[in-house]
Chains A and B, each alone.
Chain A
Amino acid sequence: MGKIRFIQGNEAIAEGALAAGARFYAGYPITPSSEIAEIAARRMLEVGGIYLQMEDEIASMAAIIGASCAGSKSFTATSGPGFSLMQENLGLAVMAEVPCVVVDVQRSGPSTGLATKPAQADVMQAKWGRHGDQEIIALSPTSVQECFDLTVKAFNLSERFRVPVILLADEIVGHMRENVEIPDEVEVWPRRLPTVPPEEYRPFRPDADGVPPLAFYGSEYVFHITGSMHDETGYASNDPKNAQRKVQRLHDKIHKNRAHLTFVRTRIPPEAKVVLVAYGVTARSARAAMEMAGPGVGLLELVTLWPFPDEEVREALAGGKVAVVPEMNLGQVGREVSRATSAEVVGVNKANGEPITPYEILDTLKGVM
C-alpha cells in the first residue's frame, strides 16, 4: 500500500521520475514546467541524484543523454519553446538510441504566445520536430495520477526500446492538484545490458526485438555512441545499405512492438454513432460531455499519441461512426484520425489559451447526432 498525497501534476511527474529510478535532471526553467525543476532540485539532493541547471535547453538535452550513457537514468522538463530547442539533441538520442525522458508541459504558441496558458499544440512537434525519418514514443496524461503513472511508464519504455520518450502533458494537468496514490514500489524496467564478452560487444547490434543492449560508460565495455550514421560497432559508416537498414530498424523497433506501447481507454456503448477521440486534459471534458449526451456517444481516450494508435482508432470508429475530436489546437490529432480511418472527423478546436469545456463539446455533438 502506498501513500495518498494531494499534489500538483508537475510534482507527480517529478515523483514518478524518481520512483522510476531517475537520478539525474538537467533542465532550463520555463513556465508551466518550472515546478518539475524546483522539485527535482530539492529531491535529487535527498535521493543522492544530481540536479543541473543548464545554460539552455540544448545543453539540457545533451546532458541527459550523456548521463544516461554513463548509467544514470535521466530526464528533463520543458514547455513548447524549450521543446523546440531540444529537438536537435532529441534527434541525437533517437539516432544514438539513448534512453531518456523529456517532459513537455505544453503551453500556448506559436513562439512565446500566451506564455503561461495551456495548449495541446506540440503533438506534431513531438512527432516531426526533428529532421530525418524517425519514430518516437509520446504519452499524454489526463490526470495528476496519470502524471505519476505515465512518467514511470515513460522511463520503462525508454529503457526497453532505447528511445527517448516524451511525456506530453499540458499546463492544466501540470498545475492542477488531485489526490495521487504513490505506491511504495513501482515496476521498473531495467536496462538490458550486454552479456557478451567485452571484445564482442557491438552497441548497435540488435537483439531479436530490434533493440540493442546498451552498456554504461565506465563498465568493462568500451564503446562508441554517435549521432552520425554508424554500423553496429558504433563507428561511422557511409554505406548506403547500412544507412537504410539503420533508419528502417529505428522505425521497426517501435512499430513492430506497438502492442507493448500503445495504450488507449475505450468506452463505446453498442448503440454509439459518434465517438469522441480525446487525450490529455481535454479527455476530462470529453468524459463529461459524453455523460451529458447519452448512450449515442462513445469515448476513445488516447494515452499513447506516438506511435499513433491507428488500429485502435480504426476499430473504435468502425461501422460508419463519426469522430469528434476536441483538442486545444487547430486539428493536429484530428488530422491523424482522418489519416487512420475513413470516418467523418469533426474537430472541436480552440487555440486561445482556454480549456475546452464539456458544453462546447456537447454543442458539436448535438450538431452531428
Chain B
Amino acid sequence: MATAREYLADWMMPHMWCSGCGNGIVLGALCRVLAELGLGRNEVVITTGIGCWGKADDYMSTSAFHGTHGRALPAATGIKCGNPNLTVLALMGDGDGATIGGNHLIHSARRNIDLTAIVVNNYNYGMTGGQYSGTTPAGKRTTTSPAGNPEREFDLCRVVAAAGAPYVARATVYHVTLMERLIKEAIQKKGFAFVEVASGCPTHYGRLNKIVGPVKMMEWFRDSAVRLGQGEGPLVIGKLVDEDVPDFLERYEALRANTAVDTERDTGR
C-alpha cells in the first residue's frame, strides 16, 4: 500500500506557494487520506482549474486534469461519467469554485454527481495579486477593494447545501485533524461531497487586512472558528450536511432500465 509520501510529486518540489500559505497543509492532509483509503494512483483523478490551489495537481502523483479557470467541476463530471469507477476530486480555490465557477458549483451539487469538491478558501485571488473574490467578506481590503469590499460574500457551505449537496463540511487549516476526517468522509460519500477549507493568504489578504504573518493567520482561524453546535459565527466548522440520496449516475441507470420500452415505442424503431 502506498504511503502518503508516494502521492506527492516530490520531483516537482520546491512548490511555488508563498511561505505561510495554507495550501501545503491541505495537500498533506489529502495525501494522508488517499494513503489511508489505499487508493491506487491510477484510480484517482484530480481536476483543477487555475489559481494557487489550482496548482495542487502539479504536486500530486495521481492522474490529473488541469483545465481552465473555474471549470474543474464540469471536467470532473465528464471524467466520472466516462469511467464511474474512478475517484474524482475537484480541487478549487474560492476564485475557481465560488466565483468564475459558481454556476458549475451549484449545478454540480444539484445534479449530485459523485465527486469530491475541495475548495480552499483564502478569501481572495492570490495568484493574480490579491484581488477580491466571491468570498471576500464585505468591507475587507484587497488590491481591488482598497477602501473595503463593496460586495457581500458567499457563505459557500450554505450555497452548496441549498443547491442540494448531500455532504457539506467546513474546516480550517488550523484544524488539521478535523480537515482530514472530513476529506476522508467526503471521498467515501456517494454523491456530491463538498469540503470548504478556510485558509490563510498572509502575502495578500492577511497583509492588507492587518492579520500580519502566518502565525497571526493561524490564530485568526483558531479564535474565529466555532465547532458545529457550540455557538454562532461566520466560520462554523464541522460536518454541516450528511444525507443519503441516489447520485446522478444511479438515477440515470434506474431511468434507463425503466424507460427502454417507452423509447422504442416513441421512435417507432
CB contacts (< 8 Å) of B64 on chain A: these are 223-226
A71 to B259, CA, bound (A): 26
Does B57 count as interface, using CB distance less than 8 angstroms? yes
Partner of A68 from B61, B82, B252 at Cβ < 8 Å: B82
Q: What residues on B are CB-neighbors of A58 within 8 Å? A: 71, 74
**Per-position 1/0 for A227-257, Cβ under 8 A of B:** 1100000011000000000000000000000
Contact with A along B35-74 (1 / 0, CB 8 A): 0000001110101000000010110011111111001011
Bound Cα distance from A71 to B83, whole angstroms:
7
Q: Does B81 contact A (CB under 8 A)?
A: yes
Interface set, chain A 51-72, CB cutoff 8 A to B: 52, 54-56, 58-60, 62-72
Smallest Cβ-Cβ distance to A228: which chain B residue: B66
**Complex Cα gap A223–B60 (Å):** 10
Q: Is A26 close to B, CB under 8 A?
A: yes
Q: Among the listed B9, B42, B68, which residue makes an inter-chain contact with A62, where contact means beta carbons less than 8 Å apart? A: B68
Digit string of A297-318 for contact with B (CB within 8 Å is 1, else 0)?
0000000000000000000000
A50 within 8 A of B: yes
Q: Give residues of chain B (65-104) contacting chain A, Cβ–Cβ below 8 Å.
A: 65-68, 71, 73-83, 85-86, 103-104
B255 at the A/B interface (Cβ < 8 Å)? yes
Name the segment of B164-172, B181-189, B260-268 touching the other chain: B260-268
Q: How far is the CB of B248 from chain A (nearest CB, A)?
A: 8
> Within 8 Å CB of B18, what residues of A?
none
Q: What CA separation (Å) do A69 and B76 show in the bound complex? A: 10
Is the beta-carbon distance between A92 and B68 smaller than 8 angstroms?
yes
| Complex partner residue of A42 from B41, B57, B103, B266, CB under 8 angstroms | B266
Please report the C-alpha to C-alpha distance between residue A226 and residue B72 in the assembled complex, in whole angstroms: 11
**Is A74 interfacial (CB 8 A cutoff)?**
yes
Q: Is the interface of A mostly helix, strand, loop or mixed?
A: mixed
Q: Which residue of B lies closest to A52 (CB)?
A: B81
Asked if A217 and B260 make an inter-chain contact with CB atoms under 8 angstroms apart, the answer reads no
Closest residue of chain A to B86 (Cβ to Cβ) is: A218
**109-168 of chain B: CB within 8 A of chain A:** none
User: Once the chains are docked, how many angstroms separate the CA of A208 from the CA of B263?
Assistant: 46
Q: Which A residues, 88 to 124, have Cβ-Cβ distances below 8 Å to chain B?
A: 88-89, 91-92, 96
Total interface residues in chain A, CB < 8 Å: 46
A92 and B47 alpha carbons, distance in the complex (Å): 14
Q: Is the CB of B71 within 8 A of A59?
A: yes
Does B222 sit within 8 A of A, measured CB to CB?
no
B12 interface contact, C-beta 8 A: yes
Q: Are A70 and B83 in contact (CB under 8 A)?
A: yes
**A221 and chain B: residue at smallest CB distance:** B42
Evaluate contact between A227 and B67: CB separation under 8 angstroms: yes
Q: Establish whether residues B68 and A42, one from each chain, have CB atoms under 8 Å apart when the complex forms.
A: no
Evaluate contact between B42 and A66: CB separation under 8 angstroms: no
A2 to nearest B CB, angstroms? 15
B12 and A235 form a contact (CB under 8 A): yes
- The list of the 10 closest CB pairs from A to B, nearest first, reads A70-B82, A66-B78, A63-B78, A59-B74, A62-B74, A67-B82, A226-B66, A67-B78, A72-B82, A66-B79
Other A-B pairs beyond A59-B107, A62-B78, 18, CB < 8 Å: A24-B78, A42-B267, A50-B81, A52-B77, A55-B107, A58-B71, A62-B68, A65-B78, A66-B74, A66-B80, A74-B82, A89-B71, A92-B68, A217-B63, A217-B65, A222-B42, A225-B65, A225-B66
Q: Show 6 residue pairs from A and B whose CB-CB distance is below 8 angstroms, ordered by the A residue.
A: A45-B260, A59-B77, A69-B79, A217-B42, A217-B65, A235-B58
